């Protein structure tokens, strides 16, 4: 028997209970309904809307043109640090591995220049933001001295006086020992109050297979270092559905996760196909050794185990796939842009922005030269984007709040000028009949079953031209009621 966190159940008991609950809430009926691509074997993570596949070539002009005449939204801050200790097999983003200190210094030079260009285009002395995420890559890869330089320039060019949370992504191996503690102390001094740690797995063999260079022991040491530095909100990321991962192993890892000295975690299903600026090497493994990957039934069971064990131990899903002891511990940045539809001012290679109806993404290239070239031309380094149409706004105003928390009907109408009943009557009625949605006079939300299939439910509200898969059933044109 393996016990964690005071649990009185062994691993097989947790697994059997999860199977029974999945049957009781009707998981198989949804797999048979036709709304899941290949009965759940494939999935599309709904991170934003419209999806990035709908973006086309664009420079900075549409993002900033007539900015003051466009409807203002609350603003968030994002910066991208692309450097990493290693290239993870599951990563679909632009990274640079084992970079020398001079490369990091040069990137910071250009990053500050882009911040200055950005605020000049906005017509402000400093960009006012209500929450911040520093992502990557590995933002904690730079040295302590470089970390202080970055923090100083970021808090100079971004106004954090009204910021409710300053969050930084991190890798365990970069936060060890005296140097790691010094980075943490510097971040804390500049207002960082939340760190999201890329743990991914507690198993050293799987970590090596992932291409990670940290160990489980180093994960625990980095958490202790964070606490020593006074970081009061520690999150970790974990991935399920990985090669060589069993259901029993995942259940054991979840039981360990709920026993750690952390405020919460985010659980990710392994994404094999590209969804960022670069195809992850995991697709090579999937083609070469498919037998190492868990079957779909096992992956879905892992997903339910994560939810069930979390809830049993006081980690609640306050935002889809984000579990925390209290709602204020989740990422305010993710909450603000996904549930409240705030704008984002993003800088750095492959960073993204959304300002008053326009999406933009910075150039993503591994050698960084294209990023540098655009800044040398006096431009924010944007090379793709989309001016959102009315249809985009209507769907975005429903899809993102629904997937992440709930849709308030009055807020939807205030944002779009439409009612949900007029625009999504068939979809809502049909998905309610399937047991995936519920509503009252004020809100529409995902049921327990709907939250389990949150991404798949969200895609039901996509414009037909944006659908990621062709083999899924959509709401019938006529809905039988009664």
CA max distance for the chain: 68
pLDDT single digits (tens) 415-458 = 999 999 999 999 999 999 999 999 999 999 999 999 999 999 99
Report yes or no: 362 and 349 within 8 Å, Cβ to Cβ. Answer: yes
Give me 340's structure tokens: 């409240």
Per-residue pLDDT, 137:
87
Per-residue pLDDT, 93:
60
Place 364 in a pLDDT band, splitting at 50, 70 and 90. Answer: confident
pLDDT single digits (tens) 370-389 = 999 999 999 999 999 999 99
Rounded to an integer, what distance in angstroms lies between the CA atom of residue 236 and that of residue 267?
9
Whether the predicted pLDDT of 5 surpasses 50 = no
Report yes or no: 110 and 167 within 8 Å, Cβ to Cβ. Answer: no
Whether the predicted pLDDT of 276 surpasses 60 = no
Q: What percent of the chain has pLDDT over 70?
A: 91
Report yes or no: 89 and 418 within 8 Å, Cβ to Cβ. Answer: no
Closest C-alpha to 354, from 396, 308, 302, 297: 396
Indicate the helix (H) or strand (E) that contains 132: strand 132-136
DSSP state of 405: S
pLDDT single digits (tens) 81-128 = 999 876 656 555 666 566 799 999 999 999 999 999 999 999 999 999
Per-residue pLDDT, 391:
97
Name all domains of the chain by residue range, CATH numbers in brackets. 33-42+389-482 (1.10.10.920), 52-338 (3.80.30.20)
Report yes or no: 430 and 475 within 8 Å, Cβ to Cβ. Answer: yes
The DSSP annotation for 203-254 comes to -HHHHHHHT----HHHHHHHHHHHHHHT---EEEEEEES-TT--HHHHHHHH
Place 227 in a pLDDT band, splitting at 50, 70 and 90. Answer: very high
The Cβ of residue 125 has, within 10 Å, a number of other Cβ atoms equal to: 11
Name 323's Cβ contacts closer than 8 Å, sequence gap at least 6: 264, 265, 266, 267, 306, 310, 315, 316, 317
Closest C-alpha to 144, from 104, 87, 86, 111: 104
pTM: 0.93
- Mean pLDDT score, 462-466: 95
């Amino acid at each position: 028997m393996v016990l964690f966190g005071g649990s009185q159940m062994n691993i097989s008991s947790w697994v059997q209970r999860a199977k029974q609950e999945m049957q009781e809430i009707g998981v198989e009926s949804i797999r048979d309904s036709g709304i899941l691509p290949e009965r759940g074997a494939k999935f599309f993570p709904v991170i934003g809307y419209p999806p990035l596949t709908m973006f086309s070539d664009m420079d900075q002009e549409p993002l900033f043109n007539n900015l003051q005449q466009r409807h203002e939204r609350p603003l968030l801050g994002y910066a991208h640090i692309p450097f990493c200790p290693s290239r993870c097999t599951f990563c679909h983003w632009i990274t640079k591995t084992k970079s020398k200190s001079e490369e990091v210094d040069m990137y910071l030079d250009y990053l500050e220049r882009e911040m200055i260009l950005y605020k000049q285009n906005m017509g402000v002395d400093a960009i006012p933001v209500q929450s911040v995420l520093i992502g990557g890559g590995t933002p904690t890869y730079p040295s302590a001295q470089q970390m202080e330089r970055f923090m100083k320039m970021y808090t100079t060019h971004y106004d954090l006086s009204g910021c409710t949370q300053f969050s930084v992504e991190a890798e365990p191996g970069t936060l060890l020992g005296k140097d790691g503690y010094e980075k943490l102390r510097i971040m804390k001094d500049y207002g960082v109050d939340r760190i999201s740690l890329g743990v991914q797995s507690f198993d050293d063999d799987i970590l090596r297979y992932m291409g990670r260079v940290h160990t489980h022991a180093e994960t625990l040491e980095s958490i202790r270092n964070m606490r020593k530095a006074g970081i009061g909100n520690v999150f970790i990321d974990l991935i399920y559905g990985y090669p060589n991962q069993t259901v029993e192993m995942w259940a054991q890892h979840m039981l360990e996760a709920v026993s750690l000295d952390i405020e919460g975690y985010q659980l990710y299903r392994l994404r094999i196909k590209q969804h960022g600026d670069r195809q992850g090497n995991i697709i090579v493994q999937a083609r070469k050794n498919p037998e190492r990957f868990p079957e779909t039934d096992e992956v879905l069971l892992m997903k339910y185990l994560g939810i069930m064990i979390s809830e049993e131990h006081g980690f609640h899903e306050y935002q889809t796939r984000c579990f925390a002891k209290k709602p204020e511990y989740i990422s305010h940045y993710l909450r603000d842009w996904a549930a409240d539809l705030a704008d984002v001012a993003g800088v750095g290679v492959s960073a993204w922005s959304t300002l008053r109806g326009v999406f933009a993404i910075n150039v993503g290239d591994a050698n960084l030269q294209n990023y540098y070239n655009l800044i040398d031309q006096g431009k924010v380094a944007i090379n793709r984007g989309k001016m959102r149409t009315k249809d985009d706004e209507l769907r975005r105003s429903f899809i993102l709040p629904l997937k992440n928390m709930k849709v308030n009907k009055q807020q939807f109408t205030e944002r779009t000028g439409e009612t949900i009943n007029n625009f999504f009557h068939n979809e809502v009625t049909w998905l309610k009949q399937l047991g995936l949605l519920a509503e009252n006079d004020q809100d529409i939300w995902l049921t327990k079953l709907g939250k389990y299939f949150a991404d798949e439910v969200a895609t039901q509200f996509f414009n037909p031209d944006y659908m990621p898969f062709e083999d899924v059933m959509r709401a019938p044109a006529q809905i039988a009621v009664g």
